[in-house]
Amino acid sequence: MLPLEEFYKYLSDTTSIDKVYYELIFSTLILILFFIGIKTIGKLIISKYSSGRKEFVGTQIFIITLNIIECFCVIFIWDDYIKSLMTFVSVLSAAMTIALRDIIYNFFSGLYIKIKRPFKVEDRIQIDDLRGDVMSISALDFEVLEISTSENNGQSTGVVVSMPNSYIFTKPLKNLTKGFKYIWDEIVVKVELDCDLAANKQELFKIVNNIETIKSIPKKMKSEVENLNNSNRIYFNQYDPIIYTKIVDGHIELTIRFLMHPKKARYIESVIWNKIYTSYKEGTINLYKG
């Protein structure tokens, strides 16, 4: 008798469990180790011939494909014994469901994310008070690179937050980039009540419309909305920058509304304010001093 078979027989005699199950468990472990080796080699090959986003996407597709094949192989190994295990599984299922409730919930939430795609890697999302860019999505959780919420359009803090997949059902989710890449932003500029309102608005229009990253967006946004209307009813009647006027407490508030990429918001706002300050120093904008 081979040493391995003797070992199986020893375990069977000790635990009163048929040795065939130990053979199946050993075969399954060998299969898992084999696939781990294939995954490791595959990752090295992919990293050698690609980088950045292509490497990430290629690796994810490769791993998911191998996981599916691995599951079918395990089912094939255990096929003749699955029915006999059903009774045993049914006895344990209630206890396991309670003990592994959160894991099971997160797993099926992960399937929902993969199929329904409420967000994907690189999307900017907000859940409760956390806003950030999705870095990765796994079977049980997803990772978000946090951005500062001290301002509406903060920058990365460098903090990576891991969140369970079940949050998509228990927390309100905002996706700032789903469907189309651009969002509306607003800047409020206060000017004097007795200023030349038309001239001030004209100068603000000139500033916003001369920024290339803003000027090219309306046409792109219109095209994206038209394409998205095949599956979602979304409608905008204004794509170009617009300025709203409001008199408040002895001054005029001019609200500039324009489209921009959410990940470039802080940079764009800084450019606009620098140009407004330059115009103020040149006397073409009458900023409120009260």
Confidence of residue 81 (pLDDT cuts 50, 70, 90): low
Contact 124, 177 (CB under 8 A): yes
User: How far is it, in rounded angstroms, from Cα 75 to Cα 38?
Assistant: 19
pLDDT reported for residue 95: 61
pTM, full prediction: 0.53
**Who contacts 258 (Cβ-Cβ below 8 Å, separation ≥6)?**
184, 185, 186, 208, 214, 241, 242
Contact 200, 191 (CB under 8 A): yes
pLDDT reported for residue 281: 92
Element (H, E) at 191: strand 183-192
* 23-to-12, 51, 78, 89, 260 alpha-carbon distances in Å: 11, 41, 10, 19, 61
User: How far is it, in rounded angstroms, from Cα 234 to Cα 232?
Assistant: 6
User: How far is it, in rounded angstroms, from Cα 228 to Cα 180?
Assistant: 8
Between 271 and 99, the higher pLDDT residue:
271
User: How far is it, in rounded angstroms, from Cα 49 to Cα 59?
Assistant: 12
User: How far is it, in rounded angstroms, from Cα 285 to Cα 204?
Assistant: 8
* 62-to-54, 58, 122, 163, 230 alpha-carbon distances in Å: 12, 6, 19, 24, 31
**Who contacts 160 (Cβ-Cβ below 8 Å, separation ≥6)?**
135, 143, 144, 145, 146
Give the best-scoring range by mean pLDDT among 78-82, 214-218, 226-230: 214-218
Digit-coded pLDDT (tens) for 132-150? 889 888 888 999 988 876 5
pLDDT reported for residue 244: 93
